Structure 1
Amino acid sequence: MSTQPSLSVQQNLTIRLLRVLRYNKARIERAIALLPPERRPLFHAIPFLLHVNHPELPGYIEPEAELFFGLNNFSFRDEIKTALTQCFANQQALFDDPKGIWPRQRAIDALVLMGSIGTIAQSEKSDFDYWVCVDGNKLSADSLRCMQAKLTAVEEWAMRCHDIEVHFFLSDIEKVRKNDFGVAEGESAGSAQAVFLKSEFYTTNIVVAGKAPFWWLTPDTTTEQQYYALLNALEEGGSPDPTWFMDLGHLDKLDIKELFGAAIWQLGKAIDSPFKSVLKMAKLEVFLENLEHDQPLCNLLKKRVHHGDEAPGNVANIDPYALMFDQLVTHYQAANEPDIVLLLQQCLYIKCNCQLSKPVSDADMTFKRRIIAGLVKQWGWSRSQIQHLDNSANWTLTELVQLSRKIHRFLIHCYRRMSARLQLEEQAVSREDIGVLGRRLDTFYSKKPHKLDFLRIGFDDKVTCPVITVKQHRRKNGTVIWAAYNGDLLGQSGKEESKARIYHAESPVQLMLWCVCNRVADLETTMLLDYDTEPVTDVDLHALIKHFSAQFPPVRVNAISREALLSPMKIMKCMVVVNFTSSRLKPTVDEVFIVYTTSWGETYIVPGIAALDKLWIELLDAYPLPPLSVFIPEGSQRKRIYQAFSEQAEQSFELLNYW
């Protein structure tokens, strides 16, 4: 019996293919339109660099294997030649006649983009995340090693010469089909959220060159058996031709066993990208709440594309992020959660960065602006709401922190609600990954005695204050607190002071450490010291900031190595501040603050001379001994204080220069 599909089935497959191709083309056009003009040539140049291997072009690797470059179905078109000429003006001869460098064989089945590129979420800072899909059975270990070296070289060239982050994920088609993604982005995405990762890929992918996933041609309600029946029925030379596609596997439902891992993964991601993670965490909760009857988002998207959004010409109007957002808002509106709906709307608007209140030219009237403007009208936002969000560059630090706290509060509450419904022993995430992800979250979120809190904020580039006023306040019970204020508030009090307050602590040492470690103050910050703060001077504060910046720079929790998080905690660096607010005329050790940072990325500040004994015990088995230093303010008794401190410490501490 012939397995060839019926004429009607073939016609349906062909119609779906045409609509998928139209949609893919629209996504490519969107991606290029949203790129800054100087980066647009890269969209065409990067695939070309993977296709060829020439010593005068970036990504060249001395051949150690027969096959490690070349893109399937890649052709040299006019727009590619133009882009290459712009990127490599000195290599024009290569592009006038590329036959000499054209590969005879092709090692890469497909080059596929995933993520925010080509959607309303694309920004000037969006990374280019490519899946480089290969048939691992056809490539030797040497070929794969050479290919990885080539990919790394192109990544480095893109960052070095064009300041753009490009990430290539070498993906074995057979392993992806089995949901085996190995280790990605520092932790095992395979153990934490393999099916979720595949769903994300199917939702956002753009085929830049090579074969398309066959998944795109199957109906959204297809079972796995039907999926393979359709794939196996295709015949070479027919239409569609099976050689046009790669089989990355069927996906008809997500796996509840991955939810716990996916949730803590998103919490980890939120440390650096809270606006994106709010939407993704909400998506996980919506999936859990609608587990019995909802399809994965990728299948809803595919259904829209297949149906042409009810008309073939409207395929180009479908946007993965907008579709996801509609799904989230519908859920939380039905749950009567207006505060969550507003938070999601604000996060999407800020992430998309359309700035609707600003003047616009014809060139700025992109699909992204049209979609966001349509959404804002649906939400019923006022002009003042839009202008306020568009003016976030001029928000006070207090305003930035308020929104960021709402974000992290939602993330934590969402995680807790999901955890309450999930049994940990039923989850797929490995113990090792739980250890790494859990330790990372503990570093960032947990409160411990003497541990410095992280400022949970999603506006890293807007945190540092050019001018900070430091004041000392006496409470009614006689105790003292020190507070930092954004801007010049010398002599001011009341409402203005309250609005500008950044942080307060019991000592200026604690205050300056918090400001430095949270990027609020740096060496460029002007420190204004209010009256009645003797013996502390503004020069003392600047000296402290200088040494804290050198010894305890801001920690990127997601940059802490997997190895460090899985190993026992150890002290990495220690600095003691002595007599900062004491009389500078006394030669004794009156005041001590011990500051140290650990291999888990935590920073502690412990007051009191007694803490020296605990530190001594901590350092007993430390090998090698971490750098130890002591800071003593300028004064006539500085050397005598250092001698007295050294006798008590019984460790060799380097005396830091005052300035």
Structure 2
Amino acid sequence: MALYKTLTNNKNIFLEYNRLRKKIFSQLAPKDSEAIMYLLPWMLSVNHESVPGYIASIKHNFRVFNIETDNEIRKRETLFKKLFKIQTSLPVLKMTSQDLIIEGIYTIGSVGTISQTPSSDCDMWICIHKAEYGDISYAQFLKKVQRIQNWMDANLKMPVHFFVSDIEDIRRCNFGDVDYESCGSTQKKVLKEEFYRTCILIAGKVPLWWVCHDPLSPLNYDEVVKECQSAPSVYYDLIDMGNLDFIDKEESFGAALWQLNKSLTHPLKSIIKMLLLKMFLESPEGDLLCHRFRRQVLKQDQKPYSFVDPSIFTLISVLDHLQNLDAETFKLILQCFYLRYEIKLFSRRVTLKEENTLELFKKYDLDRNTIYELNRFSDWSYSAQVQFGKTIFMFLVKIYKDISEIARNVTGDVAPQDLTILGRKLSSSLKKKSNKIQILLRPLDTHNLPSLTIRAQEGIWQIFPENDFSSIISEKSDLVYCLAHLVWNGLYFPGLIRMLPNTTSTTMPEVINLCKKIKDVFGIYDVSSIEFENFLQPERIKKMLIISNFADDPDVSALATLRILTLNNWGELYIHTFNRSAKIHSFLENISKNPYYVRKYYYIPQNSRHGEKILEETKRLIFQHAVS
């Protein structure tokens, strides 16, 4: 009886906390949260030909646990039917004894917290007992989920990622397919810790871990599981997703490796997670942040319960752990948190973020002048943003070195191929190599990019922001390199670039045409889009763009200069420049030894008066060496 009372009391507090999380989610993303919190469970639980996710000849219908008692969903069914043009007045949501149950739908991450931003995505675990489904029903369920995913991709602003998760896998911390951003061998208990600390129960059962807590008399999780199993009708709405006692040092180190990898594209987000992992390594083994967070939420003994935001709780925990850092580094960390959460204190528009963080940043002495500067971060000069990006990345490297020192003898649980992938991925982004187009490190996904100016001076091409000659973005004797550098780093926009008068044959229309061609062929650098398997293979060329006679005299009637841009399977872009010499023959002969097919594209300046002839000559040269 005492156990039942404890679990029930904790469950009620958790559900109230969960309701407040949903309320924040609704305020921060009104339209999308409505679809995620109410429409999604309904779509998963109906099988109507007008509703996305419909499966013809379905073996068993699927139903989210207890959805038939969810008043918030049932009262919206009329609106859902109207959305999908269903004419019947009868309920579409039905239940039968043959339905296969979806145990729960949960978010993981920043949604419903002050760290949710307009660019946040929503990772969702759709949890089932896979063994109960059978091969046919499981395949149909995956198809249903994918069709609903496709509909949400097309109709929601917020990116939503579904991960169909087997409860047994979650218990065993087997997350090979659950975290699309990481490699399964390094994300186990770390991911479960994040799940328990940040999840929102969208629909379904309450995680047993969340209610298995008694501050006065510690509960044995396994014994509580047995008690719940012995009385399933009493504890029917709780689900055992496994306990979490500690996180191995090996795993924290491995997870830190992958956060460093992710920092190449999301440095502010990664810096927070790496500081958290560093705290895990430096803290007592069983003192997990999710344990502390659960205690904080469940310790309330009377209504109204005060809301505890997971992101604020995490931020305070990390900052308190780092109190002994030097003032400059501590201030940098505060700035990173402030920018990452997109807070704007002392501004005219006060949102939940400002209401909930004002006292926090006062406590840690982030001064007003710094706050005002951070509020106008989007108006910082390009060079100031780039410099801040470099500062952040250097700090990330320092955190990684600190973590490596702590765990220098701890690599046993990190799969060798993961370390190989990480090393090569970092190399592809950071290492300077001959002829390689270098990557700019960014603090945010976008820069405040002003108009750009191209200038030729004493045989050197320069590109700089507006008239700021001191902030050179790219500088080379070869203009094609400079243009490829702009495009590859996502800095080229045709309406934001001009060229100063010069004595060469280069024209602005040709610059725009070539930049468009480079972007069409190679896109923009994105290390996160490269399949991990590529880094387990040797470097090889995948694409070539052959550029003939760019910036040469339009009257030249033969092939004079040749630039070849090549993209390899590690996502590195190179430029090779040739006059008519033996070097180009040697280069092409080496490429011809590549056993894989290389896609080839050609570019001839549109102002060339002998373009067709030069193109044919270029193609003959390439095919002469049998480049596959």
**Fold conserved between structures, TM > 0.5:** yes
1:296 corresponds, among 281, 288, 291, to 288
Indicate the residue corresponding to 2:331 in structure 1.
342
SS of the residue corresponding to residue 242 of structure 1 reads: coil
Give the drift of 1:385: 2.7
Write the distance in 2 (CA, Å) between the matches of 1:373 and 1:415: 30
- Output aligned runs, 1:48-59, within 5 Å: 48-59=42-53
**1:347-388 CA deviation, whole Å, 9 max, x = no partner?**
22222223334322xxx643x331122223223334443333
Q: 1:450 to 1:143 in 2, by over 3 A?
A: same
Q: Does residue 258 of structure 2 align to residue 265 of structure 1? A: yes
Distance 1:102 1:295 in 2: 43
Q: CA deviation at 1:171?
A: 1.2
SS in 2 for 1:159: helix
- 8 Å contact kept, 1:587–1:637: yes
**Residues 392-440 of structure 1: CA deviation (Å, up to 9, x unaligned):** 3323221221222222222222222222333477331323333434433
Query: How far 1:283 moved relative to its partner?
Result: 0.7
Identify the residue that residue 512 of structure 1 maps to in structure 2.
483
- Taking the TM superposition and a 5 Å limit, the aligned residue runs for 1:434-449 are 434-449=419-434
Corresponding residue number in structure 2 for 1:248: 241
Q: Aligned partners of 1:617, 1:210: CA distance in 2, in Å?
A: 59
Alpha-carbon distance in 2 for matches of 1:14, 1:526 = 61
Q: Equivalents in 1 of 2:12, 2:618: separation in Å? A: 78
Moved more, 183-192 or 108-117: 183-192
SS at 2:439 equivalent? coil
Asked if 1:469 is matched to 2:441, the reply is no
Structure 1 residue 498 corresponds to structure 2 residue 477: no
User: What's 1:331 paired with?
Assistant: 321
Partners of 1:178 and 1:249 within 8 A in 2: yes
Q: Is the 8 A contact 1:52 1:102 kept in 2?
A: no
Q: Which residue of 2 aligns with 1:596?
A: 566
Are the equivalent residues in 2 in contact too, given 1:30–1:118 (CA < 8 A)?
Answer: yes
Matches of 1:409 and 1:504, distance apart in 2:
23
- Change over 3 Å in CA distance of 1:503–1:163 after alignment to 2: same
Q: What is the CA distance between 1:90 and its match in structure 2?
A: 5.1
**3-state SS in 1 of match to 2:456:** strand
- Mapping for residues 197-276 of structure 1, pairs under 5 Å: 197-219=191-213, 226-234=220-228, 241-276=234-269
Partners in 1 of 2:622 and 2:484 — Cα distance? 22
CA separation of 1:592 and 1:646: change in aligned 2, threshold 3 A:
same
Deviates more, 1:582-591 or 1:191-200: 582-591
Equivalent pair of 1:576/1:592 in contact (CA under 8 Å): yes
Q: Distance in 1 between matches of 2:214 and 2:88?
A: 42
CA contact (8 A) 2:592 2:625 kept: no
Q: Is the 8 A contact 1:472 1:483 kept in 2?
A: yes
Q: What residue is the counterpart of 1:484 in the other structure?
A: 463
Contact preservation (8 Å) 1:133, 1:170:
yes
Residues 482 and 506 of structure 1 are in contact (CA less than 8 Å); yes or no, is this contact kept in structure 2?
Answer: yes
CA distance in 1, matches of 2:503, 2:405: 50
What do the CA deviations read for 1:465-507 (whole angstroms, capped 9, x no partner)? 5x32111233xxxxx43221223x3xxxxxx4325x3232232
- Structure 1 residues 249 and 150: CA distance shift in structure 2, 3 A: same
Larger mean Cα displacement after TM superposition, 576-585 or 253-262:
576-585
**Counterpart residue number, 1:620:** 593
1:278 to 259, 271, 284: 271
Q: Which range moves more in the overlay, 167-176 or 609-618?
A: 609-618
The residue number in structure 1 matching 2:534 is 564
- What is the SS of the residue equivalent to 1:333? coil
CA distance in 1, matches of 2:214, 2:387: 42
Equivalent runs, 1:2-21 vs 2, <5 Å = 7-21=1-15
Match of 1:89 in 2: 82
Q: Quick one: which of 442, 448, 456 aligns to 1:457?
A: 442
Give matches, 1:310-389, under 5 Å. Answer: 312-313=302-303, 315-334=305-324, 336-360=325-349, 365-366=351-352, 368-389=353-374
Name the SS of the counterpart of 2:413 in structure 1: coil
Q: Is the 8 A contact 1:595 1:605 kept in 2?
A: yes
In structure 2, give the amino acid aligned to 1:561.
E
In 1, the alpha carbon distance for the partners of 2:7 and 2:363 equals 36
In the alignment, the residues of structure 2 paired with residue 100 and residue 590 of structure 1 have an alpha-carbon distance, to the nearest angstrom, of 71
Deviates more, 1:405-414 or 1:187-196: 187-196
1:136 aligns with 2:130: yes
CA distance in 1, matches of 2:356, 2:460: 49
Which secondary structure does the structure 2 equivalent of 1:230 belong to?
Answer: helix
How many angstroms does 1:345 deviate by?
1.9
Structure 1's 353 and 136: CA in aligned 2 closer, same or farther, altered over 3 A?
same
Q: Secondary structure at the match of 2:51?
A: coil
The residue that corresponds to 2:108 in the other structure is: 114
Q: What 5-or-longer segments of structure 2 have no aligned partner? A: none
Instruction: Please state whether the residue corresponding to 1:483 is helix, strand or coil.
Output: strand
Aligned to 1:190: 184
Report 1:515-594 matches (<5 A).
515-522=486-493, 524-582=494-552, 591-594=561-564
1:419: which partner in 2? 404
- Mapped partners of 1:221, 1:600: distance in 2: 51
Q: 1:62 to 1:567 in 2, by over 3 A?
A: farther
Q: Do 1:628 and 1:653's aligned partners in 2 also have CA atoms closer than 8 Å?
A: no
Task: Name the CA distance, whole Å, in 1 between partners of 2:173 and 2:557.
Answer: 67
- 2:19 corresponds in structure 1 to 25
Q: Rate the CA distance shift 1:138–1:526 in 2: closer, same or farther, 3 A.
A: closer
Moved more, 276-285 or 75-84: 75-84
Q: Structure 1 vs Structure 2: percent identity of aligned residues?
A: 26
Do the aligned partners of 2:186 and 2:254 also contact (CA within 8 Å) in 1?
Answer: yes
Q: Secondary structure at the residue paired with 2:470?
A: helix
Root-mean-square deviation (CA, aligned residues, Å) is 3.1
Cα 1:250–1:45 shift into 2, 3 Å: same
Pick aligned residue for 2:604 from 598, 606, 631: 631
Tell me: CA distance 1:608–1:250, structure 2 relative to 1, closer, same or farther (3 Å).
same
Q: Compare 35-44 and 15-24 and name the one that shifted more.
A: 35-44
Question: Does the CA-based 8 Å contact 1:116-1:204 persist in structure 2?
Answer: yes
Structure 1 pair 157–251 and aligned structure 2 pair: CA distance change class (3 A): same
Shift of 1:260: 3.1
What TM-score results when the alignment is normalised by the length of structure 2? 0.90
* Equivalent residue letter for 1:481: I
Contact 1:405 1:457 in 2 (8 A): yes
Instruction: Evaluate the alpha carbon distance shift between residue 136 and residue 77 of structure 1 in structure 2; reply closer, same or farther with a 3 A threshold.
Output: closer
